[in-house]
Amino acid sequence: MKLIRDIEHYQPSGPLCLALGNFDGVHLGHQQLIKECVDFAAINKGTAAAYIFDPHPARVIKPSKAPKLLVTAERKAEILESLGLDLLIYAPFTQEVAKCAPEEFVRYILVEKLNVQQVVVGFNYSFGFRGAGTPELLNHLGNKYA
C-alpha cells in the first residue's frame, strides 16, 4: 500500500474509489466500508484508497473534547493495508481546512485534485465547515460534478 501526505503532486491513474473517515480502531463498520471501496476498485480496475485527516479533526476544533485514539497511525495503516487498500492519504487537518465549505471540499479535493470516481462513507459521516456536509449532500455534489 502506498502512503501519501501531499495530494498536490498526486497523479491519478485510473478510477479512484475513496473511503472517507477517520477509521479509528477500524471496527466492523469501517471494515465493511473499506471492503465496498476495494470491491468497486477491483471491478473498475482502479485504485482503492482512504482519505484520513491527521490529526483527528476534533484535536484542532475542540482539543479538550478530542477522543483518545484507539490505534496508532502505523497500526491503522497496517490494518487498512490488510483489508486490501492500495493507497492511504493522510491529509493535514488545520484551522484553514476546518473552515472549508462542504462544496469546496468536494470540488477542490475530491474532483479537481483526486479525480475520484466513487466515494464510500458511513451513515453518520460529516465534513466541511462545522460538519455541515452529510452523506446526502455528498451524493448530491457528486452528481453535480460528475
Return the pLDDT at 43. Answer: 97
Count of C-beta atoms within a 10 Å radius of residue 48: 28
Q: What CATH code is assigned to 2-9+14-98+115-121?
A: 3.40.50.620
Closest CA relative to residue 93, chosen from 50, 134, 52, 138: 52
> How does pLDDT run across 33-88, given as a tens digit for each residue?
999 999 999 999 999 999 999 999 999 999 999 999 999 999 999 999 999 999 99
All structural domains of the chain with their residue ranges: 2-9+14-98+115-121
Average pLDDT over residues 108-128: 96
H/E element, 53: strand 47-54
